[in-house]
Amino acid sequence: MTSHPGDQRPWHHHYQQGVPAEITWPDGRLDDLLHAATSEYPENQAIVFFDRSLTYEQVNRTVDRLAAGLQAKGLKPGDRVSLFMPNCPQLIIAYYAVWRCGAVAVPSNPLYTAAEFAHQARDAGSRYAIVLSMMYDRVREARDETPIEHVVVTNIKEYFKGPLRALFTLLREKKEGHRIDTTGDAHTYEWGDVLADDPPQQVDVFAGDLAMLMYTGGTTGVPKAAMLTHENMVANSQQVRAWAPEAEAGREVMMTALPLTHSYSATAAMNHSISAGYTQLLIPDARDLAMLLKVVNAHRPTFFPGVPTLFSAISRHRHVIDGKYDVSSIRWCISGAAALSPDVKRKFDELTGGQLVEGYGLSEASPVTHANPLDGSAETGFIGYPLPNTDCRIVDEETETEVVGAGERGVLCVSGPQVMQGYWRMPEATADVLRADASGTLWLHTGDIAVMDERGRFSVVDRKKDMILAAGGFNVYPREVEDALFEHPAVVDVGVIGVPVGGQDQRVKAFVVLDEGAAADEDELISFCRERLARYKLPNTIEFRTELPKTFVGKVLRRELAAEEQASQGD
């Protein structure tokens, strides 16, 4: 780690008692975390999912069986495997089986359309896919446009107990009128048919090898895949674990509600839990508050990673307020994705008796880099202090080469073991965000404008340029929406922005210029996008214009559109 101007890393002086400035982590692979937890806590509940629980011994055994089955289908170290599922036991098992084979996990948002899934699988070069049956139609539609050769299909009810499994089957058959039929689809297998009885072959895969392609808008808003190694993610899980020194290995309960296909949940919930022998409570859809709160009431989670909108919804829920649901077990919550308001923090802390604090990260850093202390000293308005073994600095906005002092705004840069190796097959984009200084230290330039105070606390002044924070904590990058609209033959120009709708959420608004003589209305264009984009990316409104504000070189000025929208609302 390199020196910081003035007081070297002043944040170390303000860490919570028990949090070390530096930590060590296992020099191995991600699946070694599961081996270690199984050895230490074989009978501990590893996963609770609806009416079923799995011990660490059971999870590890199933990981072995799936890994062996995938190897029998030809999976080799370095192969990419697309994972297309909501939170369920199969997703955790699939992650760790892929890593046990030395392959690379490529998680896909379960809300993706067939076109979005195809683009990602094609870019990653995925030869294998493991999908939930309710998403299989999208994979089938996309398959010819991808290099996918083998597909494993699993059903959400695989890990239900008898009565719930029977009820779920009845409801789905009544709703859909049929079950997913893979008959005749080449190299397509049912989950149970892939699980092998023989142990998997041992493979030579090391800490520095690629483990994950995590797709992100990056620091420029163009979707790309952050290359994360086993060491990146193991180290980050241990950095997060060190941030809660009062937590007891083998005893805590993790609420895993955010999608495990997102880097935050994969690290702060899944890998963190497995490294410490915790129990994970899996929630397939965090927007189903009634189900989530029933799980909280029944299973008493102590950790709860989330986003401000989720914590706000819980704190405003009438049955939480009236005491029907008891949330007092929750002790530690790190909130990401958007700024945490003082009101949300205050209400949630009062209801739980725990600590809700803001943190910060990005997929390019596995993703967690900052968090506020969990000892009651946290103040809103800050993303907190850098985690152990993480160095940070602020550089000037214009050249991003000169380090600025405390109190001065600039671009936030991060260095540490959790920083990615680069963007998949994008050397120019990699060189733009990963830059070595004169001492040879590699810095990740986040693109976020931030300030560090004298204590070493950081605050973000501006979010990543133009990124839209949609309801549910999802990131929407305007370029994706613009590209979809540009495919319509009547559209000749388009700009997309986020419009605040209260709290932390934004809605997507598009400004469109139609070709001369062409006709299209708002409903037509939104329906057109619905075939190409996940629901949370769809424009809520479309405004038609004769021209859009642009730079000298012809780039649409989204910030000017945002300013005009704000002025039109009278703000």
Q: Is 11 part of a structural domain of the chain? A: no
pLDDT at 557: 81
CA trace torsion 241, 84, 222, 508 (10° rounding)? -100
pLDDT at 482: 86
**Average pLDDT for residues 342-350, to the nearest whole number?**
90
pLDDT at 167: 47
Q: Is 185 part of a structural domain of the chain? A: yes
Nearest to 534 by CA among 163, 109, 249, 111: 111
Using CB atoms within 10 A of its CB, is residue 487 exposed (0-12), middle (13-18) or buried (19+)? exposed
SS3 letters across 159-206: HCCHHHHHHHHHHHHHHHCCCCCCCCCCCEEEHHHHCCCCCCCCCCCC
pLDDT band at 308 (very low <50, low <70, confident <90, very high): confident
Instruction: Please tell me whether residues 181 and 302 are part of one structural domain.
Output: yes
Q: Is 554 part of a structural domain of the chain? A: yes
Least confident of 3-12, 240-249, 520-529: 3-12
Q: Is 1 part of a structural domain of the chain? A: no
What pLDDT, in 10s, does the model give residues 444-484?
A: 999 888 999 999 999 987 655 677 888 777 878 787 888 89
CATH number of the domain at 522, please: 3.30.300.30
- Enter the tokens of residue 367: 């993703």
Instruction: Please tell me whether residues 217 and 357 are part of one structural domain.
Output: yes
Nearest to 128 by CA among 53, 58, 189, 37: 189
Position of tokens 């039109």?
A: 568
Position of tokens 């896909």?
A: 108
Report CA-CA distances (Å) from 450 to 331, 393, 406, 513.
Answer: 29, 10, 11, 35
Alpha-carbon span 106 to 244, nearest angstrom: 29
Instruction: Please tell me whether residues 201 and 76 are part of one structural domain.
Output: yes
CATH number of the domain at 288, please: 3.40.50.12780
Alpha-carbon span 372 to 394, nearest angstrom: 18
pLDDT at 5 over 90: no
- Enter the tokens of residue 204: 């030579």
- Enter the tokens of residue 202: 């041992």
Instruction: Please tell me whether residues 475 and 334 are part of one structural domain.
Output: no
Q: Provide the b/e sequence for 125-146 (b: ≥16 CB within 10 Å).
A: bbbbbbbbbbbbebbbebbeeb
pLDDT band at 1 (very low <50, low <70, confident <90, very high): very low
DSSP 403: B
Q: Is 443 part of a structural domain of the chain? A: no
Alpha-carbon span 153 to 136, nearest angstrom: 7
The phi, psi pair for 276, rounded to 5°, reads -110, 5
Q: DSSP 3-state assignment of 459? A: strand
pLDDT at 178 over 50: no
What pLDDT, in 10s, does the model give residues 381-424?
A: 899 999 999 999 999 988 899 999 999 989 999 999 999 999 99
Q: What's the total number of domains in the chain?
A: 2
Q: Which of 313, 339, 363 is the last residue of a domain?
A: 363
Instruction: Please tell me whether residues 115 and 230 are part of one structural domain.
Output: yes
Q: Pick the residue with more confidence: 51 or 91?
A: 91
Beta strands in 10-88 (DSSP E): 45-49, 52-55, 80-84
pLDDT at 160 over 60: yes
pLDDT at 342: 84
pLDDT at 45 over 70: yes
Alpha-carbon span 273 to 37, nearest angstrom: 9
Q: Which of 363, 382, 417 is the last residue of a domain?
A: 363
Q: Which of 363, 390, 422 is the last residue of a domain?
A: 363
Least confident of 130-139, 494-503, 505-514: 494-503
What pLDDT, in 10s, does the model give residues 201-224?
A: 999 999 999 999 999 864 455 579
Q: Is 451 part of a structural domain of the chain? A: no
- Enter the tokens of residue 439: 């001492």
**Average pLDDT for residues 558-569, to the nearest whole number?**
86
pLDDT at 432 over 60: yes
Q: Is 500 part of a structural domain of the chain? A: yes
DSSP 2-25: PPPSSSSSGGGGGSPTT--S----
What pLDDT, in 10s, does the model give residues 99-130?
A: 999 999 999 999 899 999 999 999 999 999 99
What pLDDT, in 10s, does the model give residues 53-100?
A: 999 999 999 999 999 999 999 999 999 999 999 999 999 999 999 999
Contact by Cβ (8 Å): 2, 439: yes
What pLDDT, in 10s, does the model give residues 347-373?
A: 999 999 999 999 999 999 999 999 999
Q: Is 374 part of a structural domain of the chain? A: no
pLDDT at 553: 39
Neighbours of 308 (CB within 10 A): 24
Instruction: Please tell me whether residues 80 and 197 are part of one structural domain.
Output: yes
**Average pLDDT for residues 510-533, to the nearest whole number?**
93
Nearest to 202 by CA among 77, 33, 78, 42: 77
Contact by Cβ (8 Å): 101, 75: yes
Range of the domain at 537: 468-568
The phi, psi pair for 188, rounded to 5°, reads -120, 130
Least confident of 15-24, 317-326, 482-491: 482-491
pLDDT at 552: 41
Nearest to 240 by CA among 357, 348, 343: 357
pTM for the whole structure: 0.83
Q: DSSP 3-state assignment of 249? A: coil
